[in-house]
Amino acid sequence: MLPHLATAGHATTTGFSVTNLIILVVVLAVTVPVVNRLRRATSERRRARWAEEERQAQQSQHPQQPQKPQHDA
């Protein structure tokens, strides 16, 4: 009985399968847009962070002098 069970696992076909191709296409159709959306959101957050860091660096290098209030006489 054991030899029959051992060979039963090897009885499946290997190679190209239409069912496996359909599964692959469905997985890619779901995964690719999600990954692209995640990459785009991450990139936008990173660019915003870099812009904020650049703005803060420029302010620390060139601190703005407090402006004296102008009085119209």
The per-residue pLDDT for range 33-70, each reduced to its tens digit, is 999 999 999 999 999 999 999 999 999 988 765 566 66
Tracing tokens 């119209």 back to the chain, one arrives at 72
Residues written for the chain: 73
CA gap 48, 40 in Å, rounded: 12
Q: Please give the model's pTM, rounded to 2 decimal places.
A: 0.53
pLDDT in tens, 14-24: 778 999 999 99
CA gap 56, 40 in Å, rounded: 24
Tracing tokens 């785009």 back to the chain, one arrives at 40
Whether residue 11 has pLDDT greater than 90: no
